Every structure is written in structure tokens, then in C-alpha cells.
């Protein structure tokens, strides 16, 4: 049995692979050093990131009003770096000791009000079922029949987050999925409860203190606006990582793990300052091939994947035209064309 996939960046060509193609076939081609943890590199990234976030907050405090947007963008992007370090901790690729990963992961995600354990568990589910229809929990397109069953408000909200307001999509994901510990069982439920109560306790102390000392405007200036920039990057990274007009979501019977991680993941080049502040999270294909690869080894792993599996590799450059194409076309699930736009769907309904 073979599986067919559209060749990246060449919509007229398809690639066929055996259904027996496995991730281990890709892993065997990677150099061993990409899996090695480097304590100096890991902790240096933490120290630099903390200093940059402090610099960002100082710039917010002392900037005149007309420079505040630049200070917010810088600080929010640096806070995204906090999340990426927590992301490595969640995958246990930051440190060898689990308690170190858990402690640092919670510390990095606290300012973002993100419960570490619930994110870790849900994100691992995304990795286990990447681009598998009805299972993946990251930007899975709605099926047309489900979309039609929504009321007008539900359809309008979905149109917003799949359209020009994609940048608020991760806020809904954060709010709706990460604070309900009852969706987990056993030890996982206790871990999630701890993380949720920790961030709620943090917010209950920090937010009133911030408002009492700086006023409502201080809350908006020092926390809300950088947090919104962080969610802009979260939404953008996660949408672009697995979304393009010819990247399929497959039903379980047709899904192949290796092809989903290799050809269903996207490498996107961003401005170098964004990549630096966000610890190369944009180098995404090797991360999906193996979550054990630390962020500082992703570029080496990507070069190896390009050398050995280049025909499957998708590489794009972040731009308005890229986001416009994704938000204009990639709306509803279509088993044959991958995606159907809202316009085409509503035209058929008339």
C-alpha cells in the first residue's frame, strides 16, 4: 500500500511513499549530536532571555507614548522566548532531571498565565496526532457539516480566527482548553490542577498589585499589551507550522506519522531578531521529527533533514502575502483539496 502527498512547493507533482514509512527511518539519518543536551547553552539562553525581558519592561516604563508600540512588540516577543524555553521543558529536552524541567517550565509560563502541565499534556497529544483529522488539537479545520451546524455567532467567530483575526486564535485555545483539570484523569489531573491553581494564584496577587500601584493603564501597558503580542506570535507560529493550501489533514485510516511530521510541518523564516528572541521555534520540522532535540540544535537537524529528505521539506518566508494566502484559503476541511474557503463553501450553499 502507498500513500500520496503533494510535493512541497510544486502543486503539480505528488509523492508516493510506502505505508510502512516510519519516523525511525528519518531519525536514523540525523547526526547523534542533535540529541545532546548542552547545559551551558540551555542556561545561557535562560539568562539572556530574562535580561531581555527586563530590558523590555524598562523600555515600557521609560518610553514616551509614541515609542510604546515598539516596546510592547519587543517585550511580547521576548516573552514568547519564555514560552519556548517552557516548551523545551515540557518536552524534557531542556534538562535531564524532570523536576528541573517542571520547575523552570512553570517559572517561564507564569507571567503568561499559562498552566504548564495542561499545556504540556495537550501539546504532546498534538505531536502524537499531528494533522490527523478529529484528533489534532492545534488549528484543525472544521468539517463543513459541523461549521453549518453552528449558529451565526459561532460561524462568525470561526471566520474571524481563520481570517484576518488569526492572531487572537491562541487566546481562545488558551482559555478553552487549559484550565479544566476534569478533562484529565489520575496523576495527570493532579498535575494540571496544581498548574492551574498556581497561575491563578499568581494572577490573583500580581494583577491587583499592578493595578493598585500603576492603575488600569499600568495593567494594560505592562501586562496586557505585551501579552497580546505574545499571542500574536503564538497564533502565527502555530498556524503557519502546519497550514498551507496543499497540506492535508488525514483521517486515521490514511494517516502516516512520518509523513505528517515531515511533509506536514513547515519551516518558515522570520526576521532574525524574532528567531533569536524566540529560540528558533520557527525551525519546526526537526522538532516534529523528534521532540528530544533541544531548540539550540534545531538548525543542525534541519540541515541534515534537507540533505536527506529535501523533496519533502516545506520552506516559506513570513510575509503578509503568506498570511493572506493562508487566511484567504485555509478555512474548512476538504478531503480531496485539503481546504475549502468560506467563499466557495457559501457559494455552494446558495
> Residues 119-136: pLDDT tens digits?
999 999 999 999 999 999
How many domains is the chain partitioned into structurally?
1
How many Cβ atoms from other residues are within 10 Å of residue 64's Cβ? 7
pLDDT band at 20 (very low <50, low <70, confident <90, very high): confident
Long-range Cβ contacts of 198-205 (<8 Å, 24+ apart)? 198/106, 198/110, 198/115, 199/109, 199/110, 199/113, 199/114, 199/115, 202/110, 202/113, 203/113
Give the sign of the dihedral formed by CA 130, CA 131, CA 137, CA 139.
positive
Among 252, 255, 316, residue whose Cα is nearest residue 285: 316
pTM for this prediction: 0.93
Instruction: Count CA within 13 A, CB hemisphere, residue 118.
Output: 27
| pLDDT at residue 23, rounded to an integer | 93
Model pLDDT for residues 217-236, shown as the tens digit of each residue: 999 999 999 999 999 999 99
pLDDT in tens, 298-342: 999 999 999 999 999 999 999 999 999 999 999 999 999 999 999
One-character DSSP codes across 50-99: HHHHHHHHHHHHH--GGGHHHHHHHHHHHHHHHHHHHHHHHTT-S-SSHH
Residue range of the domain that includes 207: 2-349
Amino acid at each position: 500500500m502507498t500513500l500520496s502527498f503533494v510535493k512541497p512547493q510544486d502543486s503539480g507533482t505528488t509523492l508516493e511513499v510506502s505505508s510502512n514509512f516510519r519516523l525511525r527511518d528519518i531519525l536514523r539519518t540525523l547526526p547523534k549530536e542533535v540529541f545532546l543536551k548542552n547545559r551551558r547553552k540551555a542556561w545561557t539562553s535562560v539568562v539572556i532571555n530574562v535580561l531581555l525581558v527586563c530590558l523590555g519592561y524598562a523600555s515600557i516604563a521609560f518610553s514616551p507614548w509614541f515609542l510604546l508600540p515598539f516596546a510592547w512588540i519587543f517585550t511580547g516577543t521576548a516573552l514568547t522566548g519564555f514560552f519556548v524555553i517552557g516548551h523545551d521543558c515540557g518536552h524534557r529536552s531542556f534538562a535531564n532531571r524532570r523536576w528541573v524541567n517542571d520547575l523552570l517550565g512553570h517559572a517561564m509560563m507564569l507571567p503568561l498565565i499559562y498552566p504548564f502541565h495542561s499545556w504540556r499534556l495537550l501539546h504532546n497529544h498534538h505531536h502524537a496526532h499531528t494533522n490527523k483529522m478529529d484528533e489534532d488539537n492545534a488549528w484543525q479545520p472544521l468539517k463543513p457539516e459541523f461549521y453549518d451546524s453552528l449558529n451565526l455567532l459561532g460561524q462568525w467567530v470561526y471566520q474571524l480566527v481563520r481570517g484576518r483575526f488569526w492572531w487572537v486564535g491562541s487566546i481562545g485555545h488558551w482559555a478553552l482548553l487549559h484550565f479544566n483539570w476534569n478533562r484529565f484523569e489520575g496523576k495527570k489531573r493532579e498535575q494540571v490542577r496544581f498548574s492551574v491553581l498556581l497561575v491563578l494564584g499568581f494572577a490573583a496577587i500580581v494583577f491587583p498589585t499592578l493595578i493598585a500601584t500603576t492603575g488600569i493603564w499600568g495593567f494594560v501597558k505592562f501586562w496586557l499589551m505585551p501579552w497580546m503580542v505574545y499571542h500574536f506570535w503564538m497564533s502565527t507560529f502555530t498556524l503557519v507550522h502546519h497550514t498551507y493550501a496543499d497540506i492535508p489533514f488525514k483521517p486515521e485510516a490514511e494517516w502516516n506519522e512520518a509523513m505528517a511530521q515531515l511533509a506536514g510541518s513547515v519551516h518558515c523564516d522570520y526576521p532574525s531578531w524574532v528567531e533569536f528572541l524566540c529560540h528558533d521555534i520557527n525551525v519546526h520540522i526537526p522538532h516534529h521529527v523528534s521532540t528530544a532535540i533541544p531548540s539550540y540544535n534545531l538548525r543542525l537537524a534541519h540541515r541534515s533533514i534537507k540533505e536527506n529528505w529535501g523533496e519533502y521539506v516545506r520552506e516559506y518566508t513570513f510575509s503578509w502575502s503568506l498570511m493572506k494566502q493562508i487566511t484567504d484559503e485555509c478555512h474548512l476541511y476538504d478531503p480531496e483539496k485539503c481546504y475549502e474557503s468560506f467563499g466557495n463553501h457559501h457559494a455552494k450553499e446558495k
